[in-house]
Amino acid sequence: MAGHSDTELDISQLCECADIIVVSNHQSETQNLQSDYENLTAAQKQLQTNYKNLTKVGDLLQTSYDTLTKERDALTQERNQLQGNYETLRTELDALTKERDALTKERDQLKASSNNLMTEKDQLQSHYDTLTKERDALTKERDQLKASSNNLMTEKDQLQSHYDTLTKERDALTKERDQLKASSNNLMTEKDQLQTSYDTLTKERDALTKERDQLKASSNNLMTEKDQLQSRYDTLTKERDTLTKERDQLKASSNNLMTEKNQLQSRYYTVSARRDALQLEVDRLKLVQNCPQGWEKFGCSCYYVSSASITWSESREDCANKGAHLVIINSREEQAFLNKFAVRAWIGLSDREDEGKWKWVDGSPLVGEAFWRKGEPNDHSGNEDCVELTGVEYQWNDILCTQRQSWICENVITN
């Protein structure tokens, strides 16, 4: 269409030209112009045709261009695919090359093993030949064996029937054997019990036999002894009778003797008592004559004066240990005897049990003559209960029993 408007512009330009021609040539040129116009019209037509043709060609070219563009795109794609294919093939080629190398190696190995196999094949061939021969021999043998096998089959059938028969018999026998076994076991148990009983009885019998033999022997001995005893018994009976007689006679004489003995016994007791009394008297007289070492004699007593110093109770105990007692002054003569020792010493007099009631150590009260110092006993401080000789003639004093001083023991010679 755009092309068409261009053509109209061209025509207006032609008209301007025709006006110029009209001015100059007016008439003559009208024909020229007419022809020109016709030519131009023809040319325009020709041009239109050409334009149309060109338009067609342009369309064709456009179509071709589109087609070519499409083809180019297809080719580009194809080329890309080919490029990819090429790379794939390249990779495959490398792989194949490696494979080929591996196969080459394998082939070499196979060649070597093929050679070995050839050798082996030859050996096998020889073996085969040998085996073929052997096979033939074996075939022959097999045929013979077949024949014998047939015979054996026949025999086997016979044996099978025998076997069946025997199996039945065996089963019956097995049952019977089991029963027998059971009864055998019972019998074994019984036998063992009997054996044990037998052994026990055998031992008992042996023991009894021994015992019987011993008893027999001892019975014989006893018989002998019994005979001996019988004879001794007879002898003894006779002796007993004799002795009984004798005993009766002796009994009578014994009674007489008993009477005599009792008389003698009583006389013996009398004499013994008399002798003991005399002995005591002798002992007493002996003592009266002498006191022990360290003791002094006066009248019928022995006196001991200590050199140590102890309390009144200790001195009383010491005299008792010597079989004596603290001195008891029974008379002026005894006091006079004691004066000569001229020593402060404990005597056996105290009022410890009952204040003011003087008692000698033998429990007797002070009843005879007393020889107190002037002003004594004073029970000084209410505490003086034991009596001392002051060392001055005829001067007794009461003092503390816990004072420590000498003491005088007296041992009376008794009859």
Question: Of residues 315, 345, 360, 385, which one binds Ca ion by CB under 5 A?
Answer: 385
Residue range at the interface with Ca ion (CB under 5 A); choices 94-102, 116-124, 127-135, 390-398? 390-398
Nearest distance in Å: CB 324, Ca ion: 11
Pair of tokens at residue 255: 């009674």
Q: Cβ of 379: how many Cβ atoms within 10 Å?
A: 13
Nearer to Ca ion, 18 or 396 (CB): 396
Nearer to Ca ion, 309 or 330 (CB): 330
Pair of tokens at residue 106: 């394998």
Q: Which residues contact 404 (CB under 8 A, 6 or more apart)?
A: 309, 310, 311
Q: Phi/psi at 299 (nearest 5 deg)?
A: 60, -130
Secondary structure in 3-state letters for 328-395: CCCCHHHHHHHHCCCCEEEEEEECCCCCCCCEECCCCECCCCCCECCCCCCCHHHCCCEEEEECCCCC
Nearer to Ca ion, 343 or 400 (CB): 400
Query: By the 8 A CB rule, do 413 and 292 touch?
Result: no
Question: Of residues 62, 255, 378, 402, which one binds Ca ion by CB under 5 A?
Answer: 378
Nearest distance in Å: CB 414, Ca ion: 13
Of the candidates 392, 398, 317, 395, the residue with the CA atom closest to the CA atom of residue 361: 317
x/- map, 304-333, Ca ion, by CB under 5 A: ------------------------x-x---
Measured CA to CA, the distance from residue 341 to residue 388 in angstroms comes to: 13
Of the candidates 375, 380, 410, 381, the residue with the CA atom closest to the CA atom of residue 395: 375
Q: Phi/psi at 301 (nearest 5 deg)?
A: -130, 155
Nearer to Ca ion, 24 or 356 (CB): 356
Of the candidates 274, 265, 324, the residue with the CA atom closest to the CA atom of residue 294: 324
Nearer to Ca ion, 40 or 335 (CB): 335
Work out whether 398 is an interface residue with Ca ion (CB under 5 A). yes
Nearest distance in Å: CB 286, Ca ion: 21
Nearest distance in Å: CB 383, Ca ion: 8
Question: Of residues 338, 345, 348, 376, which one binds Ca ion by CB under 5 A?
Answer: 376
Of the candidates 304, 305, 293, the residue with the CA atom closest to the CA atom of residue 343: 305
Nearest distance in Å: CB 382, Ca ion: 8
Nearest distance in Å: CB 305, Ca ion: 14
Residue range at the interface with Ca ion (CB under 5 A); choices 61-69, 230-238, 271-279, 346-354? 346-354
Nearer to Ca ion, 40 or 324 (CB): 324
Total interface residues for Ca ion by CB under 5 A? 11
Amino acid identity, position 68: L
Work out whether 388 is an interface residue with Ca ion (CB under 5 A). no
Nearer to Ca ion, 29 or 344 (CB): 344
Q: Rounded to the nearest 5 degrees, what angle is found at the Cα of 22, between the Cα atoms of 20 and 25?
A: 105
Q: How far is CA 265 from CA 73, 171, 271, 331, 377, in A?
A: 186, 117, 10, 48, 61
Residue range at the interface with Ca ion (CB under 5 A); choices 18-26, 171-179, 266-274, 373-381? 373-381
Nearest distance in Å: CB 366, Ca ion: 12
Of the candidates 293, 304, 291, 329, the residue with the CA atom closest to the CA atom of residue 413: 291
Nearer to Ca ion, 14 or 288 (CB): 288
What is the DSSP secondary structure assignment for residue 308, as one 8-state letter? S
Q: Which residue is nearest to Ca ion (CB)?
A: 379
Nearer to Ca ion, 91 or 378 (CB): 378
Question: Of residues 324, 351, 361, 388, which one binds Ca ion by CB under 5 A?
Answer: 351
What residues line the site for Ca ion (CB under 5 A)?
328, 330, 334, 351, 376, 378-379, 384-385, 397-398
